[in-house]
């Protein structure tokens, strides 16, 4: 059996998947994907033909691995040597690096890699205060080169570094990962960055884990990049044109995702061995942003604690990535399967098998898009919240205050009333525009579990504005089954965003930015006809969450 082929127990849904695989074989779908045939998805090539470079990533990046090894060696032997790396990015630029930092970060012989993808002032301050700037390498990562959060992070940290060691040396603490010709590529040249990695422009952000966007940070974190890519290359071969869809890991998983979604099992609940944590966050963006459009979508459920079978509705598909030797979730998943829920299991030999899983899931989501009749490579609804947030910022620059946003008090009656009309097949999305910490994570987990157990609805949790670059497309583009709980707070202190890198002048702060993003997203959801309940927790977000989850 193929190394990366999962084991599926699908019950009554097996016949539909078998029929889909037979149809894909007859219509040569996998062959056509490898040959860049846009008609697999849509009659016109727009946004498809120029987004299929991920098919070649394993082989192309194996050829570029020596350059990444030089990058790591230079960082480790500099004067002074770097000990930490902080990636400044969002979504497709941050989720794979976050995984590499979490899964490979200890004892890998590289830098300690962390990711900043929150504009909450507390999150920015937390990194600024813990890092020795003289020994930190900053990775500025954005495909477009114009992502507002990423450039704000860059301006803040570049100014901090320049103040500490001088503007003439500051650029040596930064590298850029971007597309050719982007504004970031120009900034990197102007500020004399240590290195710039120009990615293949025909790779979309959420498909970029096996490109410079994922692998430059991975190399710095001590990942054996050639070993990771060899697993990816093996998975690509197993997903090749000469492998029948039944034995093709990407084709089979994609058929399961697509057919079960069409049958109402559209809440893909990911269960991972703890040592693989972070891969599910990457999958979340891949699924949500690729499938949540044209009035349909697959809802990835990440990090939801497992419960007994009776807390789940009939809209779940469970996917278990199980590291060899870990039986933590076997018993509970066996009970869930016995109760009639479909389950897919992937055996992961070691953490480097994630290289192969990246490719399998990329192919699977492309196939799922085909089965669902959608184009999986665009994100037509993502811009709505950004446009509205820009309008809020423009209003602030004109008046000095943000528009007033409607909010409700943090009481059970209000929340329970908001959820009272929920129907089977709906889902609850907690959108937390608060500082990501261990305490907030625990409080959000308690709240989501209470809501799940009381309603039998799938629950998701996202920190804002991070989730806007991940599940935000799904929230506005799917069938409108979400119930959105937006959570905001008053940051204990604010952080100024320099108008220019190295400048002391500032006309906006991170507190203003995250406030505008929250209000912009709320309005975008309302404009799309979504149901939103807003709660402002003031200066005590943990206490407020505890009251909601109690």
Q: How do residues 482-513 score in pLDDT, each as one tens digit?
A: 999 999 999 999 999 999 999 999 999 999 99
Question: Residue 406 belongs to what domain range?
Answer: 382-549
Model pLDDT for residues 18-58, shown as the tens digit of each residue: 999 999 999 999 999 999 999 999 999 999 999 999 999 99
DSSP for residue 501: T
Whether 393 maps to a domain, the answer reads yes
| 49 occurs within a structural domain | no
The tokens for 376 are 């999986």
Tens digits of per-residue pLDDT, 428-467? 999 999 999 999 999 999 999 999 999 999 999 999 999 9
Is 400 found in the same domain as 513?
yes
Instruction: Looking at the structure, tell me whether residues 346 and 415 fall in a common domain.
Output: no
Q: Report how far apart, in Å, the C-alpha atoms of 213 and of each of 277, 305, 471 are.
A: 19, 30, 19
Q: Report cis status (omega within 30 of 0) of the bond before 313.
A: no
Sign of CA dihedral 44, 47, 52, 53: positive
Mean pLDDT of 340-354: 98
Q: What is the pLDDT of residue 404?
A: 76
**What CATH number is associated with residue 356?**
3.40.50.10490
Q: Give domain status of residue 50, yes or no.
A: no
User: Does residue 363 sit within a domain?
Assistant: yes
Q: Which helix (H) or strand (E) holds 28?
A: none
pLDDT at position 541 over 90? yes
Angle between helices 57-76 and 225-238 (to 10 degrees): 170
Domain end position, chosen among 342, 372, 402: 372
Q: Give a yes or no: residue 43 inside a domain.
A: no
The 3-class SS string of 42-86 reads: CCCCCCCHHHCHHHHHHHHHHHHHHHHHHHHHHHHCCCCCCCEEE
Residues 519 and 408 in one domain: yes
Element (H, E) at 516: helix 510-527
pLDDT band for position 383 (cuts 50, 70, 90): confident
What is the distance between the alpha carbons of residues 131 and 249, in angstroms, rounded to a whole number? 42
Residue 466 lies in a domain: yes
Q: Provide the edge-to-edge strand list for the sheet that holds 427-433.
A: 458-463, 427-433, 482-488, 531-536
Residue 142 CA from chain centroid, whole number: 14
pLDDT tens profile 143-188: 999 999 999 999 999 999 999 999 999 999 999 999 999 999 999 9
Pair (214, 255) in one structural domain:
no
Percentage, residues of the chain above pLDDT 90: 92
Q: Identify the helix (H) or strand (E) that includes residue 423.
A: none
Co-location of 460 and 328 in the same domain: no
Kindly state whether residues 286 and 330 are assigned to the same domain: yes
Query: Does a structural domain hold residue 225?
Result: yes
Same structural domain for residues 323 and 349?
yes
Q: pTM for the whole thing? A: 0.98
pLDDT of residue 2: 84
pLDDT of residue 107: 67
The model's confidence at residue 412, banded by pLDDT at 50, 70 and 90, is: low
Domains contained in the chain, number: 3
Backbone CA torsion sign across 508, 395, 145, 368: positive
Position 413 scores a pLDDT of 74
Residues 191 and 289 in one domain: no
- Least confident range from 410-414, 518-522, 523-527: namely 410-414
Tens digits of residue pLDDT in 241-250: 999 999 999 9
The mean per-residue pLDDT over the stretch 285-310 comes to 98
Strand partners, 509: 496
Q: Are residues 348 and 463 in the same domain?
A: no
The span from the first CA to the last CA of the chain, in angstroms, equals 48
Query: Quick one: 219 and 111 in the same domain?
Result: yes
Domain boundary residue, one of 197, 229, 261: 229
Q: Tell which of 372, 402, 436 closes a domain.
A: 372
Q: How confident is the model at residue 1 (pLDDT cuts 50, 70, 90)?
A: low
**Residues 408 and 522 occupy one common structural domain:** yes
Using pLDDT thresholds of 50, 70 and 90, give the confidence band for residue 216.
Answer: very high
**Are residues 398 and 364 located together in one domain of the fold?**
no
Question: pLDDT for 73-131, tens place per residue?
Answer: 999 999 999 999 999 999 999 999 999 999 998 767 899 999 999 999 999 999 999 99
Q: 78 lies in a domain? A: yes
């Amino acid at each position: 059996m193929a190394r990366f082929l999962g084991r599926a127990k699908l019950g009554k849904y097996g016949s539909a998947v078998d029929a889909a695989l037979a149809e894909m074989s007859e219509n040569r779908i996998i062959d056509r994907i490898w040959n860049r045939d846009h008609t697999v998805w849509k009659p016109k090539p727009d946004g498809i033909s120029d987004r299929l470079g991920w098919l070649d990533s394993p082989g192309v990046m194996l050829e570029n691995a020596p350059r990444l090894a030089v990058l790591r060696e230079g960082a480790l032997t500099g004067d002074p040597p770097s000990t930490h790396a902080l990636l400044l990015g969002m979504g497709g630029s941050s989720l794979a690096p976050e995984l590499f930092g979490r899964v490979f970060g200890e004892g890998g012989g590289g830098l300690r890699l962390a990711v900043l993808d929150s504009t909450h002032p507390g999150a920015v301050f937390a990194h600024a205060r813990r890092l020795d700037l003289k020994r930190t390498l900053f990775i500025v990562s954005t495909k477009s080169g114009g992502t507002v959060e990423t450039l704000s992070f860059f301006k803040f940290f570049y100014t901090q570094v320049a103040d500490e060691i001088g503007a003439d040396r500051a650029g040596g603490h930064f590298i850029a990962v971007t597309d050719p010709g982007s504004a970031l590529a120009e900034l990197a040249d102007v500020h004399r960055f240590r290195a710039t990695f120009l990615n293949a422009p025909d790779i979309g952000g959420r498909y970029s884990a096996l490109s410079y966007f994922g692998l430059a940070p991975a190399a710095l974190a001590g990942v054996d990049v050639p070993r990771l890519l060899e697993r990816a290359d093996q998975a690509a071969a197993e997903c090749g044109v000469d492998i029948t869809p039944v034995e093709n890991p990407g084709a089979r998983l994609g058929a399961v995702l697509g057919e079960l979604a069409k049958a109402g099992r559209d809440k893909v609940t990911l269960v991972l061995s703890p040592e693989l944590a972070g891969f599910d966050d990457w999958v979340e963006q891949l699924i949500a942003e690729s499938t949540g459009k044209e009035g349909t979508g697959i809802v990835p459920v990440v990090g939801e604690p497992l419960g007994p079978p009776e807390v789940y509705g009939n809209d779940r598909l469970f996917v278990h990535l199980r590291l060899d030797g870990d039986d933590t979730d076997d018993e509970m998943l066996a009970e869930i399967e016995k109760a009639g829920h479909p389950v897919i299991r992937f055996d992961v030999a070691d953490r480097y098998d994630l290289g192969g899983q990246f490719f399998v899931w990329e192919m699977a989501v492309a196939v799922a898009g085909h089965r669902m009749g959608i184009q999986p490579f665009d994100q037509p609804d993502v811009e709505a919240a950004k446009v509205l947030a820009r309008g809020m910022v423009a209003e602030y620059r004109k008046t000095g205050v943000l528009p007033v946003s409607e909010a409700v008090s943090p009481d059970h009656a209000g929340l329970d009333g908001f959820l009272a009309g929920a129907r089977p097949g709906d889902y609850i999305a907690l959108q937390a525009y608060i500082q990501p910490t261990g305490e907030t994570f625990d409080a959000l987990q308690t709240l989501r579990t209470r809501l799940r157990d009381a309603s039998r609805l799938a629950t998701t949790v996202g920190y804002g504005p991070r989730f806007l670059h991940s599940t935000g497309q799904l929230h506005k583009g799917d069938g409108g089954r979400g119930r959105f709980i937006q959570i905001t707070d008053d940051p204990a202190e604010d952080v100024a965003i320099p108008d220019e890198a190295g400048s002391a002048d500032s006309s906006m702060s991170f507190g203003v930015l995250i406030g505008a993003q929250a209000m912009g997203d709320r309005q975008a959801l309302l404009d799309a006809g979504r149901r939103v309940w807003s709660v402002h927790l003031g200066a005590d977000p943990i206490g407020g969450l505890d009251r909601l989850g109690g």
